[in-house]
Amino acid sequence: MSVRPTEIKLHQQSRLLEIAFSDEVCYQLPYEFLRVYSPSAEVIGHGRGQETLQTGKKNVAVLEVLPVGTYAMKIVFDDGHDSGLYTWEYLYDLGKDQTALWQDYLGRLTAAGASREPQDDSDTCSHGSHGCSHGSSGCGG
């Protein structure tokens, strides 16, 4: 399947990346979710079973999204992480499988006795909104 985004929006207050695809599917991906499922070697390792559990990313923010050719984008997070290329197909799959992937992540955190909370929680903003912005034309049905 060859999918391409038709619109990408960052919602800084709700910490969501909203991405609409050419097949008219739209996903809202929380920044934390994107960070903990970064396709970088630092996160996924160099093979199955070499993943590094990402902890303390609840309040992570996106500073910048940079295009990479016509097939991907690079996300720069405020924790300094900026490696890994998010291909359009990878982002599509993250959106499609978001619920199962998120539950898997929470289960791995629990099993490791780890937390989503940052070690130094100086950022007190925690929005739980997962809805599209008012007036959004990309998503929202």
CATH number of residue 73's parent domain: 3.30.2020.30
Report the C-alpha gap between 120 and 104 in whole angstroms. 25
Tell me if 135 is assigned to some domain. Answer: no
Tokens of 110: 């629990």
Q: What is the pLDDT along the chain (141 residues), one digit of tens a residue?
A: 588 999 999 999 999 999 999 999 999 999 999 999 999 988 887 777 778 999 999 999 999 999 999 999 999 999 999 998 999 999 999 999 999 999 999 999 999 999 999 986 454 444 333 333 333 334 544
Tell me if 134 is assigned to some domain. Answer: no
Report the C-alpha gap between 102 and 116 in whole angstroms. 12
How buried is residue 83: exposed, middle or buried, by Cβ count under 10 Å (0-12/13-18/19+)? middle
* pLDDT for the residue numbered 46: 74
Tokens of 43: 């996160």
Q: Are 92 and 21 in contact (CB under 8 A)?
A: yes
The residue segments making up the domain with residue 41 are: 5-111
Indicate the SS3 state at residue 129.
Answer: coil
Tell me if 83 is assigned to some domain. Answer: yes
* pLDDT for the residue numbered 28: 98
Tell me if 123 is assigned to some domain. Answer: no
Q: State how many domains the chain has.
A: 1
Tell me if 95 is assigned to some domain. Answer: yes
This prediction's pTM: 0.82
The dihedral of CA 78, 61, 118, 84: what is its sign?
negative
Tell me if 85 is assigned to some domain. Answer: yes
Element (H, E) at 10: strand 5-11
The CA-based dihedral angle spanning residues 105, 2, 45, 31, taken in that order and rounded to the nearest 10 degrees: -40
Tell me if 92 is assigned to some domain. Answer: yes
Tell me if 122 is assigned to some domain. Answer: no
* pLDDT for the residue numbered 51: 84
